[in-house]
Amino acid sequence: MGIVSTVLGFFGFGFGTFLGLLIGYYLFIYTQSSDVKDPDIRPLVEQDTTTLEQMLTEIPLWVKNPDYDRVDWLNRFIEKMWPYLDKAICRTVREIVKPIIAEQIPKYKIDSVEFEELTLGSLPPVFQGMKVYSTDEKELIMELLMKWAGNPNITVAAKAFGLKATVQVVDLQVFAAPRITLKPLVPTFPCFAKIYVSLMEKPHVDFGLKLFGADAMSIPGLYTFVQELIKDQVANMYLWPKALEVQILDPAKAMRKPVGILTVKVLRALKLEKKDLIGSSDPYVKLKLADDNLPSKNTTVKPKNLNPEWNEEFSFLVKDPETQILDVKVYDWEKVGNHDKMGVNAVQLKDLAPDEPKVMTLDLLKSIDPNDARNEKSRGQIVMEMLYKPFDEEMTNKFGDPSMVEKAPEGAPPDGGLLVVIIHEAQDVEGKYHTNPFVRLLFKGEERKTKRMKKNRDPRWEEEFQFMLEEPPTNDKLQVEVISSSSRMGLLHPKETLGHVVINLSDVVSNKRINEKYHLIDSKNGRLQVEMQWRASSS
């Protein structure tokens, strides 16, 4: 009887459960309102920000922020190149990590740690936007938003005490906002010497971790702990203003930084040619270092003298002693018209032994061309003493730092110094009749000019001017004017002003260096980039 009641009870429970579910289903279906409300359809422009973000969770950054540009071209490029980038990046990682591991494992009594598998998978990262900053320094700054949901296979094996443990990273996701700075920009391919990588915010990193084949992230509390640990460690190392620095080129060679100083003492000239009608000449010497944008350095004029003595000394910064040449030219000064060239010659710096003075007697030639038959004629000689003194490594590195300001040269007034003005470039300058701009500097009654750039609204000069002063120019002003001169000889509109600016020099004295873009007065959109340095004698 007990068995029969048990069987009947079992069937009764099953039948009752089935019947209850069936009745509940029909009640749920037939008690719902048949009056369906029409959905609220409105244009996207009428939606508020919160609703839009809920509807479109993956809005690209270039849509939300107009400062960011689309980089579809970059994503397509990376997609095509990813199989090759994967191998190159993994090879570089192995080369970087291998010596680090070899240095660290003896401390923990581990026999070896190596990659069994290292591949970034088939899915490349995606960049959702890029912002480029414009600065007055020689650098390029880019900010990107990167999202990478990859399928890498990274397996690391460690051996110790005869045992082997493997750790595998899978299902990696990285969301980051890196700032990439390329600086300094140099005239050597790839046109930048270093890459600096910073993170503008803590990155989001998510991944699976398999230990001995089991999912280690399923351990309660470990997932959150590892994520926060990685975020904090990465932020401590690379969160802006901290940065990862990667050197691409040797800055000293790429920037052609000065590596030494050449001292030239012009002693005398012998048996010069007679250029004047009265049977004499008024000679002076012009010296210029090849591949140097600075103007030539001239001796004084010795009137009516065919065997002049100068004993004047000049200094030049040397950037490449193996290839640079010192051009030597002797001219006859004329009060009216062009000065007559009396002779030329050149000295290769590689012929000078470092730190050893050398007195040289050079024949004056018609031209530097050794095959020129006119060089056989005697035009006199010039005697000079030359000394090339290389910088030590510390001094060479200082010249690569744009924030470093040199001291005033020897011979500067003890209470004064040297004011250096560098005219870099102008933008959006335009004349009414012509646009052939040059810059005129006016300081304490002294006028300096850059060369004229023909038909150029965005000229670049990169010319340097120096003013030796008896005292700091704390209360002085520098007048800078951009002028366009006609390229044709004519009486109508030979010159026209494109804009000007007056710069107070007190800030230059206090800050030692200023590099700014100034909006030109009387110009619609014109700007002029001027760098100024104050090199004090007592600094």
pLDDT of residue 439: 92
Distance CA 283, CA 127 (A): 66
**E-only strand ranges, 349-457:** 358-363, 381-390, 417-427, 437-443, 446-449
Neighbouring residues of 190: CB distance < 8 A, sequence distance ≥ 6: 248, 249
pLDDT of residue 467: 85
DSSP label at residue 457: S
3-state secondary structure of 193: strand
Length of the chain: 539
Residue 516: what residue type?
E
User: Locate tokens 């001796």: which residue?
Assistant: 299
Give the β-pairing of 513-519 and 460-469.
unpaired
Answer for the pair 183, 196: CB distance below 8 angstroms, yes or no: yes
In whole angstroms, how far apart are CA 423 and each of 133, 135, 458?
A: 22, 16, 13
Phi, psi of 31 (to 5 degrees): -95, -5
In whole angstroms, how far apart are CA 414 and each of 377, 408, 409, 512, 539?
A: 48, 10, 11, 17, 10
* pLDDT tens per residue across span 219-232: 777 777 777 777 77
Answer for the pair 360, 342: CB distance below 8 angstroms, yes or no: no
**Alpha helical stretches, state H, 313-438:** 393-398
pLDDT of residue 7: 47
pLDDT beneath 50: ranges in the chain: 7-8, 396, 398-402
CA-closest candidate to residue 235, choices 257, 269, 203, 264: 203
Distance CA 114, CA 97 (A): 9
pLDDT of residue 99: 82
* pLDDT tens per residue across span 49-59: 777 666 665 66
Q: What would the two tokens of residue 202 be? A: 């803590």
DSSP label at residue 512: S
pLDDT of residue 502: 92
- For residue 353, count CB atoms less than 10 angstroms from its CB and return exposed for 0-12, middle for 13-18, buried for 19 or more: exposed
CA 525 remoteness from chain centre: 26
In whole angstroms, how far apart are CA 173 and each of 152, 183, 204, 207?
A: 10, 30, 8, 6
Distance CA 492, CA 433 (A): 10
